[in-house]
Amino acid sequence: MRPVIVAGNWKMHTTPADAGELARTIGARTRVDGVTVRDALAGPDVAAPDGTGLAVGAQDVHHEAAGAFTGAISAPMLDGLATWVIVGHSERRRDACETDELIGRKLVAARAAGLRAILCVGEQLADRDAGRAHDIVDGQVRGCLAASDPAALGGDDGRGFTIAYEPVWAIGTGRNARGADAAEMAGAIRAALASLAFSGGGDDVPVLYGGSVASSNIDEFMAEPAIDGALVGGASLKPDEMAAIVARAGLTAAARAAA
């Protein structure tokens, strides 16, 4: 059974003090077994060995383990600070001109250091309107994973590696994706993984939805069996919003566990 994951991406917001207070506030408003924020990330038992609970993630990582790269953060430098990392976010692709090949190298570096990675893929509005959404996302998955060993990326149970489908056209544009859109693209992602020889045909790899996720639309995405959670942007900075999203994800997690 794939885990249900809710990742909050705070981007370039909060200070260390603000982040702790925000985590405490979300924790105080969230009461869901298995996904509860506890003790503002303090203590060794926050993240359970099976991946449930809470963990800290980094928003990016360098593709080299060390070197003369001023301002960059390597995967080994994150040891003890984070257990997750996001690679290939649309804003990194846009603002830093990151290519699929570079993102793939970051993914390999992160997994080699034991970080659990969230690989982001997704098409632009022009691509969707032109009917190229499947081709773009398929190409991104293949381009990022071309030089990777599927077993090394996923680990024994596939949980070391997650993909977030984030349609760029649905981020802050007022144009929303539907649950069916996300489920269809999750199918395309897993088809690409299957063709790359991922175990179980890619069925072990969680696929999240990320694109203006809010409490008002999370139900539509979590109702899709192909979707395993959400990568939440702006709403993750709002305690009530994030608590509601986590609560809805908890219902899905409980239902899957009982099935």
Catalytic residues: 89, 166
17's tokens: 């003090």
Identity at 55, one-letter amino acid code:
A
Which two structure tokens, joined as six digits, stand for 180? 């069916």
**Which runs of consecutive H residues, i.e. helices, occur in 90-178?**
90-95, 100-112, 125-129, 133-145, 150-154
Q: Is 208 exposed, middle or buried (0-12, 13-18, 19+ CB in 10 A)?
A: buried
Helix (H) or strand (E) holding 28: helix 16-28
Which DSSP state fits 191? H
Largest CA distance in the chain: 51
| Residue 206: both structure tokens together | 């969680």
The gap from C-alpha 17 to its chain's centroid, in whole angstroms, comes to: 24
* Residue 109 burial (C-beta neighbours within 10 Å; 0-12, 13-18, 19+): buried
Structure-token pair, residue 11? 């981007």
Rounded Cα–Cα distance for residues 116 and 35 (Å) = 17
Give the count of beta carbons closer than 10 Å to the beta carbon of residue 229: 28
| SS3 (DSSP) at 94 | helix
